[in-house]
Every structure is written in C-alpha cells, then in structure tokens.
Structure 1
C-alpha cells in the first residue's frame, strides 16, 4: 500500500508499506539519485514475514523537494514516517546516503531501532568541495551527464547491468530525479561527518561493503566496524549498489543478522 506522509516541515514523503500488519518492521532507505524501487528484491523477500517500509528520500522519487536539506533532516524524516505509521521500533537498512542516515539514527535515536544495517556507506562520504561542486553543476546543467556515466560507479564490470531490468530501472530513476532534489542531497552530504560520533552507537549494527565499490570503500566500512563496538562487517563482491548486483547474498545476510536480534 502506498502512503503519502507529512513530515515536520509540512512536506510530503512517498512511502510504501507491505507485509503483515503486526509483524516486526524493517525500513529500507535508498541511495542518492534512486528511489524506493531499488529495494524490490529485498521487499519481495521480507514482506512474507516482516512489515516492510520503503520510502523515497526527500527530493527523490515521488517525495517533495524540500529547501535546505541536512543529514539531521534526513533522519528526522524517518522518525516522522515511523510516528505517522505508529511504529515505535524498527530494524533499519540504508545504502549509501541511506546508510549514513542510519548511522545518524543510531547515534541520536537508538531507542527507536532494534538494529541498523548500513551498506556501501561511510561515516564521511567524499569531500565537501566535491559534493558542493556536483550540487552546483547539477543545479545549472541537470543530471544528464551523470546518468551517462553512473553505471561505472554503481555497478562493477562483472555485472551485466544492461540485461538486468532492475538495474535499468534504477538508472532511469536517476534520470527522473529532480535536479534540485539531487543537488540538495549533495549539499547535505557535503556537511555530513559522523566520524567522531559513531563510536557512541550501541544499536546492533551490520556493515555491508562492496569489495569492488569505488565510492564507499572497504576501508570506509572497516573504519565504521572499528568504531562501533560489537558491529559486524560483511563483504560482497559487488560495486556501490550491492543489493542490486548481488541481491540474493545481500538479502540472505540481512535475514541472518536481523533474525539473530530476536
């Protein structure tokens, strides 16, 4: 079922809810330039036994473009969504930008989460200058040039993305992302730096890293693993969108981790 939820800024978030109403809840958060459709393989599996919540991050998909985005606001959108759906506690899984959102939630709202899975992410993604330059470029010229080269960042040479329907849909979702929404997210990432704070996370944490990921590297994942006590690190032979490149392995590992929490 699709929902339109109002956040604390009185803007709308597009949310999809599937699975048994009284089952444990798992929330999936998309990466920069994608939408909730990127989680199709995981939703198809988990909705059998979990209440699966997927949403379009602000400025992406069918969610509103919102002026002035910060990492805190990305996290607060999740909390607003949970409150609107009467969800007191959930498992959380985010990839890339969604993973960074998960780390923020683990730092500031641990009581709301049974576990967090952070995939293909870092406590600090990229550099401030690079993100601001990308934001300005997208704002002025659009996303066309990024769309043409995105497959080289999102997928490895081992993966035949051209023959994978979901991969093609996800690349199209980048083409459909509002330039202003994408640029706002870039500016949020430019200022987001949790390297000094993640050691405070006590929520059970799984870190998934793509061994072929040029964007958020294994070294980035190992840093998170070293900082968060009792966290688990799992490597997948994939590039940046590991849940699409290796959906069975990705889903199986989340299943193993989440079931170990119960």
Structure 2
C-alpha cells in the first residue's frame, strides 16, 4: 500500500495530489495551506519513492492501480485529482480507464507520450549504477529555471529516492503512450504548463488539451518543470479555481 497522508476538513470534497518522478509527497507543501482550507487533501508517495515500498518493474497502469487501491482503502468512491509530471500521467490513465472515480482533473507539467524507451532505459541504467543523487544536477536543471534559489531541498529529496524505485518508474514512462485514451476523458480538465519547462515543454500540454474534450490550457511564465514550487501562488489559484465544487465545467 502507498504511503499517504490526509489533511484538511473531513467533510470537505477530496482532492488527491500525485507528484513527479523523483519526488515525495512533500513536493506539494507549497499548495497545502491553500488547498486544505477547502479540501480533504490526500497526498501519497508513488511506489518506490519516499516511504512507499519498492516493488520492481511496473507500468503506468500499475501506478494508477495503486491509487485505486488507496481510494478503496480510504473509502473514497469519487475524487478530484491533480498530478504533476508522473502524477499527471497516472491521472490521465485514471480519468480514461476509471472515469467513475475522477470528478475533476488537473494535469500539470506532464505528457501523454514522453521520450523513447531507449532514452528512459539509459536513465534507469545510470541510476541503478550510481544512485539517484548522481543525476541531481541534470534533474535540477529541468525542474527549475536557472535563477531559482530554492532547489537544494529538492535535490536532497531526489537523492533520497531508492534507485530501483526511480528506475522502474523511468521504464514505465518509457513504455507509456496515453494519447489514445485522451478522447475518453470526460472529467473537466485543467492542463497547466511551465513556459520554461525543458522536461515537458508547453507543446506537450497543448497536445493533451487538444486531445481531451473541453480541456482548458494555462501556460505559466517563469516556471520550469516543478511549476508548483516556482510559482506556488499562481498554481494554487488555478487549482482552486478549477477544483472547487462551484467551478463551472
């Protein structure tokens, strides 16, 4: 079972937050004050990350299945879902294949098809050989714009992710193609991109928004891949505007 934390009013609507490859649930700390004022917020560590168990090879469907198991454990039949990067990939799978469980969907700095199996296999191999800390410099350059001063805690977060957990999720991303499922998504969807994101550039968000009926696209200036960290207030405002029950589809 995934390690998870639940905060906010017990009688509020529930939103599940899913983070990026190489992060723990603390990635969402910048949004918690804003979201817990309105929502019961469920955060979790992906398998092989943080305090969740390392389980070997997996697919995006497996990672989404972990979330469904968590929802069942918490007796949550239907939730809103916000995912960034890998978390957004999981969110797209859930909204396409388990639509009854997803009310509203927010996809941040993510992609429906990213890179090649070979490129992800190379990254997985490098991490298995030298550990996640060995790629911290390259990853920080994708996560944050050059002038962002607060990257050190996130480099430490990445370095603490088990190599096998990170590598298995790399291979899951390499095998992923969520594009055929996009037209199946019926949940009202916000797609948010960082204008300066080299990992999942805005054109990836554009393709997702074009594929999901009625999706709304927002591109934030001054943000790279972890836009929720670089532009916390703006991301929180967009999430609240989209996820609150009174929001219009």
Same fold by TM-score greater than 0.5: yes
Q: Is there any run of 5+ residues in structure 2 with no aligned partner, and where?
A: none
Q: Please, which of 175, 179, 202 is the counterpart of residue 191 of structure 1?
A: 175
Tell me the SS of whatever aligns to 1:42: helix
TM-score, normalization by structure 1? 0.91
Q: Summarize deviations over 1:85-130 as a string: whole Å, max 9, x none.
A: 1111111000000001100001001111111101000101222110
**Residues 1:178 and 2:167 are matched in the alignment:** no
Residue 211, structure 1, aligned to residue 200, structure 2:
no
* Secondary structure of the corresponding residue to residue 208 of structure 1: strand
- After TM superposition, where is structure 1 displaced by more than 3 Å over at least 4 residues in a row? none
Report the equivalent of 1:9. Answer: none
- Per-residue Cα deviation, 1:136-178 (whole angstroms, up to 9, x for no partner): 1211222232113322110012422xxx3xx422221100000
Separation in 1, partners of 2:67, 2:154: 22
Deviations 1:42-93 (A, max 9, x none): 1221112210000000000000001221100110111111110111111100
Report if aligned partners of 1:90, 1:113 keep a CA contact under 8 Å in 2. yes
What secondary structure, in the 3-state scheme, does the structure 1 residue paired with 2:49 have? coil
Deviation, 1:261, is 4.8
Q: 1:246 aligned to 226, 231, 245, which one?
A: 231
CA contact (8 A) 1:117 1:208 kept: yes
Deviations 1:2-40, CA, capped at 9 Å, x for gaps: xxxx3xxxxxx1101001111100100010001000000
Structure 2 match to 1:134 = 123
CA distance in 1 between partners of 2:33 and 2:130 (Å): 37
TM-score (norm 2): 0.96
Q: 1:168: which partner in 2?
A: 152
Taking the aligned partners of 2:126 and 2:38, their CA distance within structure 1 comes to 43
Cα RMSD for the two superposed structures: 1.2
Residue 81 (str. 1) matches residue 43 (str. 2)? no
Contact kept in structure 2, 1:89 and 1:111, CA below 8 Å: yes
Gaps of 5+ in 1: 1-5, 7-12
Structure 1 position 232, deviation (Å): 0.5
- After superposition, give the CA deviation of every residue in 1:209-244 in whole Å (9 maximum; x if it has no partner): 010001101111100111111001011111000000
CA contact (8 A) 1:115 1:261 kept: no
Distance 1:132 1:52 in 2: 34
Matches within 5 A, 1:28-177: 28-160=17-149, 164=150, 167-177=151-161
Equivalent position of 1:230 in the other structure: 214
Describe the SS at the equivalent of 1:79.
Answer: helix
Aligned length in residues: 246
Q: Are the equivalent residues in 2 in contact too, given 1:37–1:170 (CA < 8 A)?
A: no
Equivalents in 1 of 2:36, 2:203: separation in Å?
A: 33
